[in-house]
Amino acid sequence: MRQQTNLNYNKANFRKILKAKRLSLDDTSRNLLNHRANLQLIELLNELLINHRNDYKIALFLAFNGEIDPYCTIQHLQKNNVSVYLPIIHPFSKKTLLFQKFDKNTTLIKNKFGILEPKLDLRAITPLDQINYFVMPLTGFDLKGNRLGMGGGFYDRTLCHLNDSAKLIGFAYSLQQLDTIPTEPWDISLGYIVTELNRYCFI
């Protein structure tokens, strides 16, 4: 059941509620929802990448703290020779991300938040404008393409100059849906949202 928007709730309150709902899933339910959601995501990416598969670069993420897990999609893309990139915290630019190629030889380390990310290798970093699609984690979403992130603003700061919401795909459980998300001028909107139940397009 989606969370009803209430004027008494701000973003911090919504994050607390939605994180608790996400963490409340038992292992059986989580595995089933992850499986269904990955099938939806793979189907969308197959449609988006048609005829250009070997030239595409897709950014995804490694699940943390109950987030939906896109690892099956990562494996599917790599098996089909699509280049996969993961976010890493920029070592010099505050609260921004770099995107580094991820393959079987990539060494993973925990960043300051305890999230696994590739060990920095400047040779494997790619410019943002060369990545075709960014599959992004989120805490909540609405059906206007608004995304509620973790609160650090890393994706907003990193992608604010991209000016192409068609490249941005939110990935979440359907239980993370809100009626409306309070927005700020710097919040980036999404071109797509994928859950275990549906694929939504906003472009």
Give the Cα separation of 128 and 88 in Å (integer). Answer: 13
Give the Cα separation of 32 and 100 in Å (integer). Answer: 29
67 is in an annotated binding site: yes
145 is in an annotated binding site: no
14 is in an annotated binding site: yes
Distances (CA, A) of 1 to 18, 176, 179: 11, 9, 11
150 is in an annotated binding site: yes
Give the other-Cβ count within 10 Å of 81's Cβ: 10
13 is in an annotated binding site: yes
Residue 122 has, within 13 A of its CA and on its CB side, a CA count of 1
Residue 80 has, within 13 A of its CA and on its CB side, a CA count of 20
Coil, strand, or helix at residue 168?
A: strand
66 is in an annotated binding site: no
Give the Cα separation of 3 and 177 in Å (integer). Answer: 6
Angle, helix 27-48 to helix 71-79, in steps of 10 degrees: 40
149 is in an annotated binding site: yes
Q: Looking at this protein, which amino acid is placed at residue 138? A: L
- Residues for the chain: how many in total? 203
Give the other-Cβ count within 10 Å of 178's Cβ: 21
140 is in an annotated binding site: no
152 is in an annotated binding site: yes
Which positions make up the binding site? 11-15, 62, 67, 147-155
Which positions make up the binding site for substrate? 62, 67
Which positions make up the binding site for ATP? 11-15, 147-155
